Structure 1
């Protein structure tokens, strides 16, 4: 499928303007207080940046403004993350897109120099600076890297992160490539008990492979808690590391079902090195 076809706005996962569920009170507050954008300008500002992002690659999270979900702060681990960062530990937001979760952490008092972001597309990092208007003040470090590239900047950072956050990342791949990419992310963790990976992605009641034309392989493997735990058991065995895995399914907003099957859910997970 050509890039022109992919960028067609006449698809189920493109919304012209954000509704209240897509531009939440949390997102508005962050843009108004952290980014100092006047309240009356927020919607048009978000639309302008989103439309630029759509021409780079039309991910559903871009089309539906889901990059403004600010989901990390609602995990039960969020206070722990803030505490760990305050003590000097390091967090990587893998596939950070615009770095929205990073801005939320910083707005909530986390030391920005202890936070890293990484994305495949440098353009998204630059759009993040535009979205949050903080190019001249944010001290977090952003990397452009392909997780599959053995010569990428991530390789030199293996074993240096206490926490890796992966929001809407692992589900970009079929099962075999999820194993590869999850293994690569696990290698980024500091080799100490308590190092953790947490995040969320599209899952399902019934674990299975589905077609998904915006994913690199054209496929998406949707885990349920059992299949996710089994995959991480295998990854741990291959790495010689023991992981505890907590994974739970959650309902999706109804607009997701315009392009997902009825048993689709969101899976939230926390993986800790033992």
Structure 2
């Protein structure tokens, strides 16, 4: 979600195609969009130790208001940043299995924002020492400590700040076919993602790809493919806005028209299986469904693609 500004200099950012359309259009914040499932509410209570529901809501609302001043992402306005969308991706159970069964399996949460999609797997058993989070803006990651009432000491997962379109942060490299023998780098020492080339067992990216043009989506996919371990079962997975037919749609997240390039399930599979990876070397699963957003948040029905790309 949050890695949608494209610059290696956080003090001088260039907006992605999507953000250019609504950077100056801040929708009104309202608690009407607040919705948490029982699972999500229990998750936040476990981290924050806040037991009272009303107190929990106000805690999240306060963080939302502060985050919206950093940048007015629609997912912050809709409280989507507190949803556990990762658990609704079929590949999630495979992620946990990798953490249990593959020695040294490394997990990257890309566009991590506040870090829910890395805290939940850790809570469910994925070794924290083998996780790393990344995003362009560290402000949201730091706010995650406020949201979850933890700290770098109590939740020692490292964070790498940078832009995946910047070669100095993530150098585009082709997928490797032979497992590496030398030790993986120390995650806490990384200032870029390039040293992880060929080493990651799993990469998660949700509400991320749709923020970019078709050309940049391909570039990012190719760069992530270079990070993935060649071992069977290694995977990239996530979800984002899509459409039944490939093309550009007009969205209105705050009322102003914003163009967004959307893949279809078919074009998404074709991109990964044959362009990004050698055809037949990966299994692509991509399912189109209605995008779940709060009632009244959008002007019409939207679609989402829930997907995984797994090396075979």
Q: What is the TM-score with the length of structure 1 in the denominator?
A: 0.86
Secondary structure at the aligned position of 1:250 is classed as strand
Match of 1:58 in 2: 72
Match of 1:224 in 2: 264
Q: Which of 229, 234, 241 does residue 195 from structure 1 map onto?
A: 234
Match of 1:267 in 2: 305
Distance in 1, matches of 2:108 and 2:260, equals 24
Q: Is the 8 A contact 2:274 2:280 kept in 1?
A: no
1:42-87 CA deviation, whole Å, 9 max, x = no partner?
1111111111111111111111011122022223332321121133
Distance in 1, matches of 2:131 and 2:248, equals 33
Q: Is the 8 A contact 2:243 2:304 kept in 1?
A: yes
Give the 3 Å change call, closer, same or farther, for CA 138–254 of structure 1 in structure 2. Answer: closer
Displacement of 1:114: 1.4
Displacement of 1:105: 1.4
The reply to whether residue 26 of structure 1 matches residue 39 of structure 2 is yes
Distance in 2, matches of 1:62 and 1:234, equals 35
Q: Is the 8 A contact 1:18 1:65 kept in 2?
A: no
Match of 2:189 in 1: none
Match of 2:165 in 1: 148
Give the 3 Å change call, closer, same or farther, for CA 104–7 of structure 1 in structure 2. Answer: farther
Q: Which of 116, 131, 136 does residue 115 from structure 1 map onto?
A: 131
Q: Is the 8 A contact 1:7 1:55 kept in 2?
A: no
Displacement of 1:131: 0.6
Give the 3 Å change call, closer, same or farther, for CA 246–150 of structure 1 in structure 2. Answer: same
Q: Which structure ranks higher in relative contact order (CA pairs < 8 Å, sequence separation ≥ 6)?
A: 2
Distance in 2, matches of 1:261 and 1:222, equals 16
Match of 2:50 in 1: 37
Distance in 2, matches of 1:116 and 1:234, equals 29
Per mean C-alpha deviation after superposition, the further-off stretch among 162-171 and 76-85 is 76-85
Q: How does 1:77-226 map to 2 (within 5 A)?
A: 77-87=91-101, 88-135=104-151, 136-152=153-169, 153-211=192-250, 219-226=259-266
Q: Is the 8 A contact 1:245 1:272 kept in 2?
A: yes
Q: Is the 8 A contact 2:109 2:203 kept in 1?
A: yes
Q: What is the TM-score with the length of structure 2 in the denominator?
A: 0.77
Count, aligned residues: 264
Q: Is the 8 A contact 1:34 1:107 kept in 2?
A: no
Give the 3 Å change call, closer, same or farther, for CA 257–233 of structure 1 in structure 2. Answer: farther
Alpha-carbon RMSD: 2.6
